[in-house]
């Protein structure tokens, strides 16, 4: 039997065996996390360059008050910045501007 068929049978069996909780109508509390990258685009970085990608992440907690109303708290963090040294424009390189900033978002 070819390897691809064995893999398909394996994952099909997993779908049958492992219960799914994605369609639950009402749960008390939910938690989640997010991880990714942040990039600044503005006056210093005008060419959509990805030379200064920095980490970002966050998390949330959602408490279901009833099946239709929930209270959600979110915290996100991102580190953004850019440096004219990454620019291909000679004027920008001579200008030599740069910055770094931490962005923290809290929301309810």
| 17-37 tens-digit pLDDT | 666 666 666 668 888 888 888
Residue 14's pLDDT is what?
A: 65
Residue 2's pLDDT is what?
A: 67
List residues bridging with 31 in a β-sheet. 61
Q: Which residue has the higher pLDDT, 106 or 45?
A: 106
Measured CA to CA, the distance from residue 31 to residue 75 in angstroms comes to 12
- Residue 78 dihedral angles phi and psi, to the nearest 5°: -145, 145
Residues, the chain:
108
* Cα–Cα separations (whole angstroms), residue 19 to 46, 68, 92: 48, 24, 56
Residue 57's pLDDT is what?
A: 93
Spatial contact of 38 and 53, defined as CB atoms under 8 Å apart: yes
* Cα–Cα separations (whole angstroms), residue 50 to 42, 63, 80, 92: 13, 37, 12, 17
Could you report the per-residue pLDDT of 34-57, keeping only the tens digit for each?
Answer: 888 888 888 777 777 677 788 899
How much is the pTM?
A: 0.64
């Amino acid at each position: 039997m070819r390897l691809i068929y064995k893999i398909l049978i394996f994952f099909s069996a997993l779908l049958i065996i492992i219960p799914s909780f994605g369609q639950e109508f009402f749960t008390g509390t939910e938690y989640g996390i997010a991880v990714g990258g942040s990039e600044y685009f503005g006056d210093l970085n005008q060419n959509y360059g990805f030379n200064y990608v920095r980490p970002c992440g966050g998390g949330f907690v959602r408490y279901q008050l009833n099946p239709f109303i929930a209270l959600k708290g979110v915290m996100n963090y991102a580190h953004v910045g850019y440096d004219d040294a990454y620019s291909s424009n000679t004027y920008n390189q001579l200008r030599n501007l740069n910055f770094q900033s931490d962005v923290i978002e809290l929301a309810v």
